[in-house]
Amino acid sequence: MKMDSKTLREYGHTIVDWIADYMDHIEEYPVLAQVQPGEIKDQLPLTPPEESEDMGAIFDDFKQILLPGMTHWQHPSFFAYFPANTSEPSILAEFLTAALGAQCMVWQTSPAATELEEVVMSWLRQMLGLPEGFSGVIQDTASTSTLCALLCARERATSFAINQHGFQAGKNQKLIVYTSEEAHSSVEKGVKIAGFGKDQLRLIPTGTDFAMIPAALEKAIDTDRKHGNAPCCVVATVGTTSSTAMDPLRPIGEICNHDRLWLHVDAAMAGTAAILPEMRHILDGIESADSFVFNPHKWMFTNFDCSAYFCKDPKVLTSTFEILPEYLKTGVERGVKNFRDWGIPLGRRFRALKLWFVIRYFGVKGLQEKVRAHIQLARECESWIRKDPRFEVMAPVTINLVCFRYHPSHRTFTEEELEQINKELMNELNRSGKMFVTHTKLKGKFALRLCIGQTNTTQDHIQEAWQRLQASVADL
């Protein structure tokens, strides 16, 4: 059976209408899904339907059964984790990507997809002020991008010997990876998958600003050399997940260049801030990096997934990943890019389209305005918190994240008590459905994280959140 075009039109229009209403009324939904484990599954049949079901029934179940089990990431009072924001042009582009249903593994399988990806990645490179020689490719997530970087570092360090012979065949020297104790868990995951092994991951201490201490990095590298290990790769973070701390790229880059270590820069969320001339300093020293990742799907209004990976020498990337079975020998001879050799999966979605829609629709200026406003709101929020003696700011506010906790200056609490009180405060706020914040630990201290990055968050939302916070602690 085939859905006729009349039905497609009917439900296409119905669903677009629903999306438009959803976006208009999103603030009426609880930000955090207020369901219990199993509550959704219990409403769904255990076996698949034998017969065709009506689109109307399917869509009704989406609304009635599934929607209550959704956390609304596009609610402007979503302050949890890091954002994964979207925007109307991105949504529209995803319709088209789905409709075309193209699998864009090589140039020939959709020349426009490959060439548009080259163009939008060059646009992004210019927007962030990355060095001219950097080449870009879209990966699914920052985790994958970082894994690619680790694999490239491994292969460059061993002249592609591990690709060929496997880890056992290498010299007995251990390849070492360095990152800060505040780095994202994807670094550890990548180290495990790429075969370095967790024992070969060094977590470099951070200062009071939670940024990597370059002298400590240097010392760790020296120690490894003395023990006969082979320092291989440093993963620096621009905008750590806990507190958006900024590892200083320039001194770290100098150490890497001096020792010929691969430098990968993970700027998964914070990278977007570099589209602002006044924030470019966060990438100061980026020319020393071998690879760089940031996620337009976090803070650049492009729906998940879309991770922008840049590298200095794409030959290392393609040499690491290249495969050439007979059934894929197409287009190679014509000097075109085949992005299947630029990452892990063979198959690729047409992700460049949504990025193209977003950049064109907002324009660089429009994107800058949004990001600048978010940063401004975070600073305002920080200033309110600092002025209130019942609260304490827990980390420097470098961009759009405020880490803080309830900690009245006139009373003494143990760390355990503070953790308990702040956990309860967080749960109460999240249960309200009116806002969603998450937590972290900074040097062992429990902290609430309020990150401002949803596309439509305004001062009203931050003010409301602040009022809610104040009301919640009033009777503590």
Minimum CB–partner distance for residue 470 and ligand PLP (Å): 29
Q: Please state, in angstroms and rounded to a whole number, the distance separating the CA atoms of residues 446 and 439.
A: 7
Query: Residue 90 is which amino acid?
Result: S
CB nearer to ligand PLP: pick between 82 and 321: 82
Nearer to ligand PLP, 206 or 241 (CB): 241
Shortest distance, position 118 Cβ to ligand PLP, whole Å: 22
Instruction: Tell me whether residue 148 or residue 316 sits nearer to ligand PLP (CB atom).
Output: 148
Angle at alpha carbon of residue 83, lines to 101 and 262, rounded to 5°: 80
Q: In sequence order, what are the residues at sequence separation of 6 or more whose Cβ sits closer than 8 angstroms to the Cβ of residue 273?
A: 239, 279, 282, 299, 371, 375, 399, 400
Q: Give the chain's length.
A: 476
Find how far residue 6's CA is from the centre of its chain: 39
Helix (H, G, I), strand (E, B) or coil at 67: helix
* Pick 206 or 307: Cβ nearer ligand PLP: 307
The smaller minimum CB distance to ligand PLP, of residues 74 and 186, is found at 186
184 or 340: whose CB is closer to ligand PLP?
184
Look up residue 202 and give its two tokens: 């060094």
Q: Considering the complex, what minimum distance in angstroms separates the CB of residue 141 from ligand PLP?
A: 3
Q: Which is nearer to ligand PLP, 297 or 407 (CB)?
A: 297
Nearest to ligand PLP of 247, 392 (CB atom): 247
* Nearer residue to ligand PLP within complex by CB, 240 or 338: 240
Question: Least distance from C-beta 332 to ligand PLP, angstroms?
Answer: 30
Q: Which residues bind ligand PLP (CB under 6 A)?
A: 82, 141-143, 184, 186, 237, 240-241, 266, 268-269, 295, 307
Q: Considering the complex, what minimum distance in angstroms separates the CB of residue 401 from ligand PLP?
A: 10
Cβ of residue 196: shortest distance to ligand PLP, in angstroms? 17
In angstroms, give the least distance from the CB of 273 to ligand PLP.
13
Residues paired with residue 178 on neighbouring β-strands, in sequence order: 202, 234
Provide DSSP, 11-44: HHHHHHHHHHHHHHTGGGS-SS----TTTTGGGS
**Least Å from the CB of residue 151 to ligand PLP:** 15
223 φ/ψ angles, rounded to the nearest 5 degrees: -60, -45
**Minimum gap (Å) between residue 244 Cβ and ligand PLP:** 9
Smallest separation (angstroms) from ligand PLP to the CB of 147: 9
Q: Closer to ligand PLP at the Cβ: 255 or 269?
A: 269
CA distance 132 to 31: 41
Q: Which is nearer to ligand PLP, 182 or 382 (CB)?
A: 182
Cα separation, 304 vs 299, whole angstroms? 10
Helix (H, G, I), strand (E, B) or coil at 344: coil
Q: Check: CB of residue 214 under 8 Å from CB of residue 135.
A: no
- Single out the residue of 305, 286, 284, 287 nearest to residue 295, CA to CA: 305
Apex 335 CA angle, 330 and 337, nearest 5: 75
In the complex, what is the shortest distance from the CB of residue 257 to ligand PLP, in angstroms, rounded to a whole number?
23
| Residue burial 441-456, b: 16+ Cβ < 10 Å; e: rest | ebeebbbbbbbbbbbe
- Beta carbons of 151 and 196 less than 8 angstroms apart: no
Pick from 293, 346, 319, 322: which is nearest to 152 by CA? 319
Burial of 268 (0-12, 13-18, 19+ CB in 10 A): buried
**Residue 440 parent element (H or E):** strand 438-442
In contact, 462 and 452? CB cutoff 8 Å: yes
Residue whose pair of structure tokens reads 């990337």 in the numeric block: 317
